[in-house]
A and B are shown apart, each in its own frame.
Chain A
């Protein structure tokens, strides 16, 4: 395929800029001068993938090395996939437009379960055998990282290596090992065995899984001297961890079209439904100086006029006020606006509010997650109604008139009382507004409620719980709608059929690999996109493979059951998760890491919040 023909074809599809490359700060190297070619694949659209911080970090980290050329690959949208298949265009990397089949590594980042069919589809578009066992040559090696690798068992048959935890070091160690093999010769099997000895590297083909008659896992056995358990890898000193000073700046508009500055990893809170809160433990911060230095460099090299801070629960950053003060001192001068996502209300001081206000007046958002105090205690979301109402009051006095509330539905122990609590809380916020003597005249308040479906995830205390059924979700949504009386409250919901599938794959095992292939063959891809998701096709795929999806989504697990991810070690122990689940049932909360260590097990990494003076 000549470049000209490809370019002509690109003009027939939506947003050709997704596939054309050539963006500012993208890296072009001489392919004859590098040893390792790495195709970094994001199994979703360009606009989604290009917004992702982890990809930016690894892209730059790899390309810093002279011997590696890392290029980007995204899932082609349906229209371009059709063009590719009709014209026999293999999946290519944006920088060189070379087919990725001939690369040394093909690396996927797994951010959400619903991208799994895109992984399969991309391997197929690359014209590679899907199964790892059918790819005999040492290259390409298919690797995957990202949060889902804490249980990516459904992809175990297709991927050679999973990276657990943060990949900055283990990725490069695997690449170096590969270079040695390439120079000295050696089989793929030998290479994988050697790689499995690197911390944070999980080679699924080195583990045999056997099952009980009821379908649960009977045993997980390591082959040869492969490690019995595989521990995730983390960066222990974020001030000295690589952070890019350049981002590739897309021409077309992407989801988060701005500079991003990471400020810490992990979360001290321990909300019991939140996987990120457990798998990224322990909290490790960057110093305020580092944050400002890195943020400045990114703004300069990109020309972005907006920067956002990235972390979970941003307001838990210990030096938040001095850091913001310093940041505002230069952002204001340079006309850069600062946005702060994920602020929690319980330490949202009026001073802080004022400072942000300074910059940009966006809506006020809270995530109480549950409608009643009882259920908030169950999920360990330590916010009281009083705090929410007080913050709203302060915000209203500061001129805000719109409040967005995020909730979940289908949480363990939830009753209709808790659902009604969602409507009640929204109503109380409306009442708070109208009770204000200083409320702005002629302006109405708007409280919007967004409700997502709870999906139990591995490595959380709720990993043992059944997910509620679709029928039950629909009933609860209907009930909530009836509970809302005020026209000042808007309730956003859509049926959300995808959460069932997400629930199946989140706690899935290797038997689901077959279902993935079957669904892919039926045309399933972009399952996270409403316009593409097709539940019927999926149900067909499950029944063809003789697999009951409810076994994965809607079944309660006993504490004794061997879970498909039991051989993976994220620091947090199963004992701790069980204990947390018991506390949840009793409605007892657990203090956050800075108040009191709950002995979750993540101190095994020897650094971070676990060793701060309290």
Chain B
């Protein structure tokens, strides 16, 4: 699913919900479409094991317990629904996300990355919505950083701000590492495994 953009994911979910025959609520107006949103859009190229999707049904008394089963029955095995519940928090409450990054490097960059993270500051550049480049120090933004060897490769896990107020993509750190240390390039994969609120509690 890595190559599925956020918009594509939305369309995929609409078809899935239709196939599962859930009584989905359609928006009104000239071009009615089903109401489906994600708490935090996923960047192209990332994998995820924790996503929150908000859908609206026409029937308030619809049995919520059977929903996951119905959705899983019409989904490929690489997409699985775990739980369904009434909405608790608003999307606005998303504040952080946790990522796992695995390099395909035979541990070659473990020590280099550790050294890199020990610097006073790490300046990264980010394109703003307006299109200009903004530079900032990424170090103070990082929480729960852990870097270690896993299955013979370098494994990095960290929490970064996410959501509508401040959003920091972990790619910024990796790009900065490669650019600023001139290290040989190794493939890596990024997985997002948690979406968190401001108290670093799982968002739901």
Residues of A within 8 A of B (CB): 4-5, 7-8, 10-11, 16-17, 20, 22, 24, 249, 251-253, 257, 300-305, 335
Contact pick for B187, options A4, A17, A22, A251, CB 8 Å = A4
B residues less than 8 Å from A303 (CB atoms): 14-19, 74
A residues less than 8 Å from B78 (CB atoms): 22
Contact pick for B8, options A251, A302, A305, CB 8 Å = A251
Contact A16 B3, beta carbon cutoff 8 Å: yes
Contact B15 A253, beta carbon cutoff 8 Å: no
| Total cross-chain contacts (CB, 8 A) | 56
Asked whether A305 and B5 contact (CB < 8 A) given A4-B187, A5-B187, A300-B19, the answer is: no
Complex formed: what's the CA distance from A216 to B18 in Å?
A: 58
> Can you spell out 28 A-B residue pairs with CB atoms less than 8 angstroms apart?
A4-B104, A4-B189, A7-B2, A8-B187, A10-B3, A11-B44, A11-B45, A16-B44, A17-B5, A17-B8, A20-B3, A22-B1, A22-B78, A24-B76, A249-B15, A251-B3, A251-B8, A252-B4, A252-B5, A253-B8, A257-B11, A302-B15, A302-B19, A303-B15, A303-B18, A304-B15, A305-B18, A335-B18
* Tally of contact residues, B, Cβ under 8 A: 25
B residues less than 8 Å from A257 (CB atoms): 11
Which B residues between 180 and 197 are near A, CB-CB below 8 angstroms? 187, 189
Bitwise interface map of B from 45 to 62 toward A, beta carbon under 8 Å scored 1, else 0: 100000000000000000
Contact B14 A305, beta carbon cutoff 8 Å: yes
Using CB atoms, name the residue of chain B closest to A303: B15
Asked whether A17 and B4 contact (CB < 8 A) given A4-B187, A303-B19, the answer is: yes
Which B residues between 1 and 46 are near A, CB-CB below 8 angstroms? 1-5, 7-9, 11-12, 14-19, 26, 44-45
Per CB-CB distance, the 9 closest pairs between chain A and chain B, nearest first, are: A303-B15, A303-B19, A20-B3, A16-B3, A303-B18, A251-B8, A251-B4, A17-B3, A11-B45
Complex formed: what's the CA distance from A257 to B15 in Å?
A: 12
Using CB atoms, name the residue of chain B closest to A12: B45
Using CB atoms, name the residue of chain A closest to B18: A303
Distance from A306 Cβ to chain B, minimum over Cβ atoms (Å): 11
Contact A253 B187, beta carbon cutoff 8 Å: no
A residues less than 8 Å from B45 (CB atoms): 11
B residues less than 8 Å from A24 (CB atoms): 12, 15, 76
Complex formed: what's the CA distance from A16 to B46 in Å?
A: 13
Distance from A3 Cβ to chain B, minimum over Cβ atoms (Å): 10
Distance from A444 Cβ to chain B, minimum over Cβ atoms (Å): 19
Complex formed: what's the CA distance from A353 to B104 in Å?
A: 61
Using CB atoms, name the residue of chain A closest to B2: A7
B residues less than 8 Å from A252 (CB atoms): 4-5, 8
Using CB atoms, name the residue of chain A closest to B102: A4
Distance from A25 Cβ to chain B, minimum over Cβ atoms (Å): 9
Contact B26 A335, beta carbon cutoff 8 Å: yes
Distance from B172 Cβ to chain A, minimum over Cβ atoms (Å): 15
Distance from A404 Cβ to chain B, minimum over Cβ atoms (Å): 20
Complex formed: what's the CA distance from A251 to B12 in Å?
A: 6
Complex formed: what's the CA distance from A249 to B13 in Å?
A: 12
Contact B11 A253, beta carbon cutoff 8 Å: yes
Which B residues between 66 and 114 are near A, CB-CB below 8 angstroms? 74, 76, 78, 104
Using CB atoms, name the residue of chain A closest to B15: A303
Give 14 A-B pairs besides A4-B104, A24-B12, A302-B15 with Cβ atoms closer than 8 angstroms.
Answer: A7-B3, A11-B44, A11-B45, A16-B44, A17-B4, A17-B5, A20-B2, A22-B1, A24-B76, A253-B8, A300-B19, A302-B19, A303-B14, A305-B18
Complex formed: what's the CA distance from A249 to B4 in Å?
A: 13
Distance from A5 Cβ to chain B, minimum over Cβ atoms (Å): 6
A residues less than 8 Å from B12 (CB atoms): 24, 251
Complex formed: what's the CA distance from A5 to B104 in Å?
A: 10
Complex formed: what's the CA distance from A8 to B103 in Å?
A: 12
A residues less than 8 Å from B11 (CB atoms): 251, 253, 257
B residues less than 8 Å from A304 (CB atoms): 15
Using CB atoms, name the residue of chain A closest to B33: A305
Complex formed: what's the CA distance from A11 to B47 in Å?
A: 13
Complex formed: what's the CA distance from A5 to B187 in Å?
A: 7
Residue of B14, B15, B18, B76 with highest tally of chain A CB at under 10 A: B18
Distance from A366 Cβ to chain B, minimum over Cβ atoms (Å): 24
Complex formed: what's the CA distance from A22 to B3 in Å?
A: 10
Using CB atoms, name the residue of chain B closest to A3: B187
Complex formed: what's the CA distance from A253 to B8 in Å?
A: 7
Distance from A118 Cβ to chain B, minimum over Cβ atoms (Å): 22
Complex formed: what's the CA distance from A366 to B175 in Å?
A: 54
Using CB atoms, name the residue of chain A closest to B32: A335
Distance from A260 Cβ to chain B, minimum over Cβ atoms (Å): 15
B residues less than 8 Å from A17 (CB atoms): 3-5, 8
A residues less than 8 Å from B9 (CB atoms): 251
B residues less than 8 Å from A335 (CB atoms): 18, 26
B residues less than 8 Å from A10 (CB atoms): 3
